[in-house]
Amino acid sequence: MVNAELARTVVGIIGNVISFGLFLSPVPTFWRICKKKDVEEFQPYPYIAAVMNCLVWIFYGTPIITPNSVLVVTINSVGLALELIYLSIFVYYDSHNKGRKKVFLGLLGEVVLFGVIIAVALAGFHTQHSRNITVGIVADVFNIIMYASPLAVMAKVYKTKSVEFMPLWLSVANFANGSIWTAYALIHGIDWFIVVRYGRLLPLSLLISL
């Protein structure tokens, strides 16, 4: 019989690989920005939101909040680094200063808010279980905020019947990613917060891929 903990680790590693690929999906956009040396009408909001999302999930995966969740920490740490690189490219090529202030103020606000979340979780809750529930709820809320933009894109794809705004491969990758991480959350003890994070997007990504 396959050890449940080993199976969870293997599934988590696969999830890390797929998630890493999804974190790289904006590369063509930023490559175009680098070539044109201009951000044009590009907006930084999804990447600012992604920074906060990664920060909270890194905190969620720490031993004092959710033991044995190192794979949650690793992929979100990689994601955080990539999102900051994307925002750095945006700021560097924002020649008309259309969004630099938004980026700086957004990141500053997130640092302050993240500090508040840490302080409240550690000082206000004195058991690992209560901290897990509190930070898990906050993490899912920020995950919903981060995915608000892609959900709008999905709605546009459904309305126009055109995959121009969301390539088929990206929808399939999102579905695979959600499936893997949902399986990870259900193996060797159920992590409902990860189930909520990934499981709720499965029907939508499947709908788009079809």
Q: What's the chain's average pLDDT?
A: 85
Q: In which band, very low, low, confident or very high, does the pLDDT at 206 lie, cut at 50, 70 and 90?
A: very low
Residue 58's pLDDT is what?
A: 98
Q: What angle, rounded to 10 degrees, do the helices at 27-36 and 70-93 form?
A: 20
Whether 204 has a pLDDT exceeding 70, the answer reads no
Contacting residues for 121 by C-beta, under 8 A, at least 6 apart:
59, 65, 131, 134, 135
Residues 70/61, Cβ–Cβ less than 8 Å: yes
What is the average pLDDT across 136-149?
82
Residue 208's pLDDT is what?
A: 46
Domain count, the chain: 1
What is the average pLDDT across 111-120?
97
Instruction: Single out the residue of 5, 19, 7 nearest to residue 178, CA to CA.
Output: 19
Whether 121 has a pLDDT exceeding 90, the answer reads yes
Residue 3's pLDDT is what?
A: 84
Residue 98's pLDDT is what?
A: 75
Q: Helix, strand, coil shares of the chain as percentages rounded to 5?
A: 75, 0, 25
Instruction: Single out the residue of 53, 64, 41, 17 nearest to residue 141, CA to CA.
Output: 53
Residue 166's pLDDT is what?
A: 53
Q: How far is CA 188 from the centre of its chain?
A: 23
Whether pTM > 0.75 for this model: the answer is yes
Residue 195's pLDDT is what?
A: 87
The domain in which residue 75 lies consists of 4-209
Residue 1's pLDDT is what?
A: 47
> Which is higher by pLDDT, 116 or 160?
116
Contacting residues for 132 by C-beta, under 8 A, at least 6 apart:
60, 65, 66, 193
pLDDT in tens, 69-87: 999 999 999 999 999 999 9
pLDDT in tens, 25-75: 889 989 999 999 988 878 888 899 999 999 999 999 999 999 999 999 999
> Which is higher by pLDDT, 28 or 155?
28
Task: Report the percent of the chain where pLDDT is more than 70.
Answer: 81
Residue 209's pLDDT is what?
A: 45
